[in-house]
Amino acid sequence: MAAPKRHSYLIDPRFQLKWTAYLVVSVVVVMAVLGFVIARTASRASDTAEIAVEQAKKAYQESQSNNILSRRTLELAGGDNPALQAVMNDSLNAEDVKQEKNLEEVRQRQNDIARDRRNIQILLGSAGLVLVILLLLMGIVITHRVVGPVHKMKRLLRRVSTGRLVIEDRLRRGDELEDLFDTFLQMTYSLRAQQLARIATLDGTLRKAEKNGQTVPEDVIEGMRALRAQLVLGLEPRRPSMRPPPPSRF
Q: What is the pLDDT of residues 21-33, one digit of tens each?
A: 888 888 888 888 8
Last residue of a domain, one of 135, 161, 187: 161
List, in sequence order, the alpha helices (H) in the chain: 13-77, 82-161, 178-211, 218-233
Last residue of a domain, one of 161, 192, 223: 161
Same domain, 142 and 201: no
Residue 8 is assigned to a structural domain of this protein: no
Report whether 246 contacts 227 (CB < 8 A): no
Residue 5 is assigned to a structural domain of this protein: no
Same domain, 58 and 118: yes
Last residue of a domain, one of 113, 136, 161: 161
Report whether 84 contacts 52 (CB < 8 A): no
Same domain, 186 and 155: no
- For the chain, the domain total comes to 2
Same domain, 25 and 55: yes
- Per-residue buried b or exposed e for 142-151, using 16+ beta carbons within 10 Å of the residue's own CB: bbbebbbbbe
Same domain, 87 and 168: no
Same domain, 233 and 155: no
Q: What is the pLDDT of residues 195-206, one digit of tens each?
A: 899 888 888 888
Residue 97 is assigned to a structural domain of this protein: yes
Same domain, 119 and 27: yes
Residue 63 is assigned to a structural domain of this protein: yes
Same domain, 29 and 126: yes
Residue 210: predicted pLDDT: 77
Same domain, 191 and 152: no
Q: What is the pLDDT of residues 133-176, one digit of tens each?
A: 998 888 888 888 888 888 888 888 888 888 888 888 888 777 78
Q: What is the pLDDT of residues 58-109, one digit of tens each?
A: 777 777 777 777 767 766 665 566 666 676 677 777 777 777 787 788 778 7
The Cα–Cα gap between 74 and 62 comes to 18
Residue 7 is assigned to a structural domain of this protein: no
Same domain, 23 and 146: yes
The Cα–Cα gap between 125 and 122 comes to 5
Residue 1 is assigned to a structural domain of this protein: no
Percent of the chain topping pLDDT 90: 1
Q: Please give the residue range of the domain that contains residue 142.
A: 13-161
Q: What is the pLDDT of residues 116-132, one digit of tens each?
A: 878 888 888 888 889 88
- Per-residue buried b or exposed e for 45-74, using 16+ beta carbons within 10 Å of the residue's own CB: eeeebeebbeebeeebeebeeebeeeeeeb
pTM over 0.85? The answer is: no
Percent of the chain topping pLDDT 70: 84
Report whether 167 contacts 156 (CB < 8 A): yes
Q: Cα dist. 41→51, 123, 126 in Å?
A: 15, 15, 19
Summarize the confidence of residues 218-231 as an average pLDDT: 83
Same domain, 34 and 135: yes
Residue 130 is assigned to a structural domain of this protein: yes
Q: Cα dist. 195→92, 100, 133, 207, 219 in Å?
A: 110, 99, 51, 18, 23
The Cα–Cα gap between 167 and 159 comes to 9
Same domain, 175 and 155: no
Residue 178 is assigned to a structural domain of this protein: yes
Report whether 143 contacts 61 (CB < 8 A): no
Q: In the 8-state DSSP scheme, what is residue 239?
A: S
Residue 141: predicted pLDDT: 85
